[in-house]
Structure 1
Amino acid sequence: MQKQSTQTDGRNTSLMDKPHGDADCWPLSGKPYFYAVIDKLKHYQPIIPQELSEKLPTTTISAKIVYRGKVWDLLYLGGEVTKRFGMELWGKFMTENNITVGDACVFELMEGSSKSRVIVFKVQVLKDDFPLELVEKAEGFCKNNPIDLD
């Protein structure tokens, strides 16, 4: 697939890897992934779990996250004890995409290995916007109404 990108307002726009059009959610491809629910406790920053970070470089390198057909340039802090993205650029991504506490982000590793100079994650954002008046009635949202997996 040919990748095309242009620079606009500090962001790269891209035609890279958009098999599902503008859909916000799509099936995962089978590549390594992790998810994080945005919360204040972790200072709004997703922590990359060891199962995935052990496959990535142990130094700070460039990272790209692809969301809604656009590419954001970040830093991956692989040399830190807690593997994560650089806070300033991650915060810019959150602000530009109105990501708030309670939202979940699914990060699928599209390109990258322990020897990579750049890693690429495709991101899905699942908004925490379930109507409060329906929470108690919804399947799986309370202890008296658990999710049944059988």
Structure 2
Amino acid sequence: MEIPAGPSRKLPAVHLVKPKLEPGEESLPARLNAGEDQETTPLSGRRPFFTAIMAKTHVQKPYQLAIPAHFHRRLPARRTAAVLRCGGGSWIMSYCGDNRLKRLDGAWADFAVDNGLLVGDACVFELVSGGGVRGQELVFEVQVLRGGGMPGEIADKGATADDPIVIAD
């Protein structure tokens, strides 16, 4: 393949994550290999997004999901309706932008439980609509990446399109 002459554009480093298999395992655990009902929808890559690696407080009581500070400027500074869409389902909740801690309300627990989120899983939240438009609900398309112990060297990756996480099997 010949590379065309002209200005070069530096491509971002890509971080590949391969699911870990224990010695003697020939396939992924059932939770990761579930088939049709766990179909993932690729995110557009053209809209703003943030990632969250699930910790205990995200997936167990008190079920809290704070929005990272770098993403606050894209969201309203008031309480507003929010919808998380994932795997063909929708979860309605509130975005609490009027607090010092910007977060999703208690209905986040329904999303976490319904999607079987565990510590170490990652969620990518792509803002589809509503960022800053008064009266319009926030809509996030969410992709769940089953982790089970995401390597530390990539846990901080994926905050921008210049530093993507790519899952390969």
Would the aligned equivalents of 2:85 and 2:91 in 1 still touch at CA under 8 Å? Answer: yes
SS of equivalent residue, structure 1 residue 53:
helix
Would the aligned equivalents of 2:127 and 2:138 in 1 still touch at CA under 8 Å? Answer: yes
Amino acid across the alignment from 2:82:
A
The 1:30/1:142 distance shift into structure 2, 3 A limit, reads closer
Match 1:126 to one of 137, 145, 148: 145
Amino acid across the alignment from 1:37:
I
Gaps in structure 2 of 5+ consecutive residues? 1-37, 154-169
- Cα distance in 2 for partners of 1:119, 1:46 equals 15
Aligned pairs, how many?
112
Residue 51 of structure 2 corresponds to residue 35 of structure 1: yes
Amino acid across the alignment from 1:120:
V
Gaps in structure 1 of 5+ consecutive residues? 1-21, 131-139, 144-150
Please identify which structure carries the higher strand content.
1
Would the aligned equivalents of 1:64 and 1:121 in 2 still touch at CA under 8 Å? Answer: yes
Aligned match of 1:114 = 132
- Cα distance in 2 for partners of 1:93, 1:142 equals 25
What does the per-residue CA deviation read over 1:36-77, in whole Å, with 9 as the maximum and x for residues that have no partner? 011125655332123322121111110000001111101100
Match 1:76 to one of 68, 76, 95: 95
- Cα distance in 2 for partners of 1:113, 1:31 equals 11
TM-score by length of 1: 0.65
Residue 79 of structure 2 corresponds to residue 90 of structure 1: no
Please report how far the alpha carbon of residue 97 of structure 1 lies from its aligned counterpart in structure 2 after TM superposition.
1.0
Larger C-alpha radius of gyration, 1 or 2? 2
Amino acid across the alignment from 2:69:
Q
TM-score by length of 2: 0.58
Q: Identity percentage over the alignment?
A: 32
Question: Higher RCO, 1 or 2 (CA under 8 Å, sep at least 6)?
Answer: 2
